[in-house]
Amino acid sequence: MSEKSSSKKVVGEKLQKVLASAGVGSRREMEQWISSGRVTVDTKPAVLGDRVTENQQIRVDGHPVQITAKVDQICRVIAYHKPEGEICSRTDPEGRPTVFSRLPNIKGSRWIAIGRLDINTSGLLLFTTDGELANRLMHPRFEVEREYAVRVFGEVNDAMIQRLRTGVELEDGKANFKKIKALPGEGLNRWFHVVLTEGRNREVRRMWESQGTVVNRLIRVRYGDLLLPKHLPAGGYSEYALEDVNYLRKLVSLREEQQSLVKPEDRNERRRRMASMRRAVRKHQVASKTENKRGDKPAADKPATKPVTKPDPRPKQKPTKPATGKTPAGRKPVRKPTAKKPTREGRG
């Protein structure tokens, strides 16, 4: 029996891994969804440990999930210059703008965020169509560097910097910066460049706050060796070429990609594309500001209201009948005023 069981080949991949690769969510989220009965395989409730192939029918909350064979998938990665004020969620019940609202549309797949940036943080945010690549780049065991430019308000001395290098205690464990570099400048507002190899929630801010200072500006400028493109406007995106995609894949021990959908372009084409993107970003910003001035609801969603008119304080007059030359009975004829002054005889 042991020889037979050892000779059996494992068919398919783990269900949570397949769902994550399809962009449904993170692998941890998929494990929770499977445990709660939200996933079915061939109309049967799925359980943790199930393996599936691309020929099986997978549904999440009753909705089919399109599974593409690995051979047919092309790994794509884009850099997005996240502005402040956007959240890293697909939807928001409060109606705030999300980082997914301006990404390019793709067929048969969807963009997966590699890590997150909080609403008050701007800078480089990577997206990919490969869930496994996203999962590995976010995992602490691969120690992928993230570099931030941070402006700190408060008195900063050498002892504080040394503590941040060696490690400080936070609510979720000890944390430290791999590198800290002070930029030239004086005063209570100073710029630093810091490097981390993990991406815990608000980690940079919490570390500085543990030393009695406040972070009033935070920008991610690097992920691995990929820098925030200087030509990229806030709210704009740019897709990486095959060389950069394979750099990320090699960084987390994944096989190299052989194809890319990025077309080569010369300097003029790139300038035209960036100019068009800047116009689109400005148009989007103007529309957002106009909508905010009008209120939470857009004008089209507000019920039409009639203009409020103030009551006329003057007494209403009855409409007069047209003159017929006859005086109604019981009334004295009304003398029309003249511009002549009455004479002395007329007064008497």
The catalytic residue positions are: 118
User: Could you tell me which residues come within 8 angstroms of residue 247 by beta carbon, excluding any fewer than 6 positions away?
Assistant: 224, 225, 226
Label the pairing between strands 112-114 and 63-64: unpaired
The C-alpha atoms of residue 26 and residue 135 are separated, in whole angstroms, by 7
Q: Which of 226, 161, 171, 172 is nearest to 194 (CA)?
A: 161
Strand 226-227 relative to strand 214-223, pairing = antiparallel
**DSSP 3-state of 195:** strand
Strand, helix or coil for residue 16: helix
Phi and psi at residue 187, in whole multiples of 5°? 105, -175
199 within 8 A of 220, measured Cβ to Cβ: no
Distance, in Å, from the CA atom of 50 to the CA atom of 30, rounded to the nearest integer, reads 12
Helix (H) or strand (E) holding 125: strand 122-128
Other Cβ atoms less than 10 A from the Cβ of 269: the count is 11
Closest CA to 220 of 207, 241, 210, 234: 234
Q: Is 17 left (phi over 0), alpha (psi -120 to 50) or beta?
A: alpha
CA separation, residue 11 to residues 18, 24, 54, 255, 301 (Å):
13, 22, 11, 20, 52
Asked whether the beta carbons of 242 and 260 are under 8 A apart, the reply is yes
CB 30 within 8 A of CB 22: no
- The helix (H) or strand (E) run that includes residue 136 is helix 131-138
